[in-house]
């Protein structure tokens, strides 16, 4: 039960009996308190869910507000939806630190999160309170665009991260709702660039231009769909020859000056079909360049403290490759050797995965299967990324319609030129030629 105290007035009591003095109107006589005219007049007191006393103060002439607040508190406590009205009176920076601690402990994820908060969120929001975000969202959008000057896609990353932080605040009952969901405010719209897969000819040229020691790399990306770190951690020991699959169980990462083994992105190990031609070429390569045993620690204790793995692709010193060094010393020089210009947006090693995906879709592999082979977090992401590469359904749709309303003259390329068939409208005959 919530009670309302009037700090400016109190019931006057008889000094001898201690009982309230009743006036001529039959009501207790009121007298000024020592605090009369100073500070907030009304105080609502109540016990929260933990039986801890809480209070909220209201100024003079705000008795109705105090009564409404008391009524809401009582209702929320009974419904189990009570939220401490002071819970949102913490700074964005303070809540941001708490939110980040509760997110994935994956080091790369933590680096990305901290970068977004330190560069795009904390500089603007500073010491603003969590429960006062709605008043400044539009100003923040302007700041991101004009002051920070980052790309619209990075603005969208910052917005999504900030919104997720506010969702967590709602879940923890710090605030009632997420102001980022306000339909009157338009968040940054991502510019989605359509992926244009390489031609087979381009992949062949790069494969020929790679140094002999690194010839398999194109096949690992375009033939198995491995990411760069996964290709550099490739081990023939993970090939299951009976099932003709490759078990992708690790990648190489470089963190703070140290190379580590780590589970694939999202901790999603996966099994990928292995083509006969791929296996044949890998066997030929191993005859010339036997795998090298490399011992490295495991990042974030994904498995054990360290492991020795027979790696297929190593440096000339038989060490594991750092991804950035492989790009600088092997991948990009191959373009010059092939007589091709290197385009940063289109020609990274990820282009090989796109080529893999385009061939899978062309051969009728489903989005569900492709998402599994690529190790994507969801089929929806795979569909958004590659939907424009899926074979057109126009031919199948046209055939379905023709089966319903059969033409008398078959389309060009068919075996029979004239078909006397029955459709929904009965027999049809070929039109008269004049």
In three-state form (DSSP H/G/I as H, E/B as E, the rest C), the secondary structure along 186-223 is CCCCCCCCCCCCCCHHHHHHHHHHCCHHHCCHHHHHHC
Percentage of the chain with pLDDT > 90?
62
Q: Residue 73: its pLDDT value, please?
A: 86
pLDDT for 396 beyond 80:
no
Q: Which residue has the higher pLDDT, 61 or 109?
A: 61
3-state DSSP helix/strand/coil % of the chain, to nearest 5: 45, 15, 40
Q: How many CB atoms lie within 10 A of CB 71?
A: 12
Q: How many CB atoms lie within 10 A of CB 10?
A: 17
Cα separation, 166 vs 384, in Å, equals 26
Q: Which residue has the higher pLDDT, 109 or 234?
A: 234
Name the phi and psi angles at 215, rounded to 5.
-55, -35
pLDDT for 425 beyond 50:
no
Cβ–Cβ < 8 Å for 133, 169? no
Cα separation, 145 vs 342, in Å, equals 30
Q: Cα torsion for 202, 251, 277, 360, to the nearest 10°?
A: -70
Write out pLDDT tens, residues 247-300.
Answer: 999 999 998 889 999 999 988 899 999 999 999 999 999 999 999 999 999 987
Nearest residue to 372 (alpha-carbon basis) of 266, 289, 299: 266
Q: Residue 393: its pLDDT value, please?
A: 65
Q: What is the mean pLDDT of residues 16-20?
A: 88
pLDDT for 427 beyond 80:
no
Under CATH, domain 200-389 is a member of which superfamily? Intergrase catalytic core (1.10.443.10)
Write out pLDDT tens, residues 147-179.
Answer: 888 899 999 999 999 999 999 999 888 888 999
Cα separation, 354 vs 361, in Å, equals 11
pLDDT for 309 beyond 50:
yes
Q: Residue 412: its pLDDT value, please?
A: 58
Write out pLDDT tens, residues 333-349.
Answer: 999 999 999 998 899 99
Write out pLDDT tens, residues 53-96.
Answer: 889 899 999 999 999 999 988 888 888 877 777 788 899 999 99
Whether this model's pTM surpasses 0.75: no
Cβ–Cβ < 8 Å for 373, 270? yes
Percentage of the chain with pLDDT > 70?
92
Q: Residue 267: its pLDDT value, please?
A: 86
């Amino acid at each position: 039960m919530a009670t309302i105290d009037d700090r400016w007035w109190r019931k006057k009591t008889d000094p001898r009996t201690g009982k309230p003095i009743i006036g001529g109107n039959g009501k207790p006589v009121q007298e000024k308190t020592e605090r009369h005219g100073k500070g907030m007049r009304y105080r609502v007191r109540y016990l929260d869910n933990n039986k801890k006393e809480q209070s909220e103060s209201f100024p003079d002439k705000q008795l109705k507000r105090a009564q409404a607040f008391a009524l809401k508190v009582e209702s929320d406590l009974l419904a189990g939806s009570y939220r401490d009205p002071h819970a949102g009176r913490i700074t964005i920076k303070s809540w941001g630190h708490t939110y980040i601690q509760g997110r994935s402990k994956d080091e790369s994820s933590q680096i990305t999160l901290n970068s977004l908060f330190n560069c795009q969120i904390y500089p603007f929001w500073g010491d603003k309170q969590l429960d006062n975000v709605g008043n400044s969202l539009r100003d923040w959008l302007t700041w991101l665009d004009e002051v920070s000057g980052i790309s619209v896609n990075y603005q969208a990353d910052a917005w999504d991260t900030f919104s997720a932080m506010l969702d967590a605040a709602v879940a923890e009952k710090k605030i009632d709702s997420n102001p980022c969901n306000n339909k009157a405010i338009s968040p940054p719209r991502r510019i989605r660039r359509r992926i244009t897969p390489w031609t087979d000819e381009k992949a062949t040229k790069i494969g020929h231009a790679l140094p002999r020691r690194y010839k398999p790399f194109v096949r690992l990306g375009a033939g198995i769909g491995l990411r760069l770190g996964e290709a550099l951690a490739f081990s023939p020991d993970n090939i299951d020859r009976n099932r003709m699959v490759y078990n992708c169980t690790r990648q190489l990462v470089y963190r703070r000056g140290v190379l580590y083994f780590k589970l694939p992105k999202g901790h999603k190990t996966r099994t990928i079909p292995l083509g006969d031609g791929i296996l044949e070429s890998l066997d030929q390569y191993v005859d010339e360049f036997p795998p090298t045993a490399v011992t490295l620690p495991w990042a974030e204790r994904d498995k054990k403290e360290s492991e020795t793995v027979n790696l297929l692709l190593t440096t000339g010193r038989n060490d594991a490759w750092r991804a950035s060094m492989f790009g600088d010393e092997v991948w990009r020089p191959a373009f010059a050797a092939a007589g091709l210009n290197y385009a940063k947006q289109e020609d990274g090693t990820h282009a090989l995965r796109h080529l893999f995906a385009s061939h899978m879709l062309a051969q009728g592999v489903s989005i569900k299967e492709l998402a599994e082979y690529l190790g994507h977090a969801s089929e929806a992401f795979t569909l958004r990324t590659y939907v424009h590469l899926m074979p057109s359904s126009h031919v199948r749709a046209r055939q379905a319609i023709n089966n319903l309303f059969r033409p008398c003259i078959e389309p060009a390329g068919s075996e029979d030129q004239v078909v006397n068939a029955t459709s929904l409208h009965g027999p049809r005959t070929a039109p008269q030629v004049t």
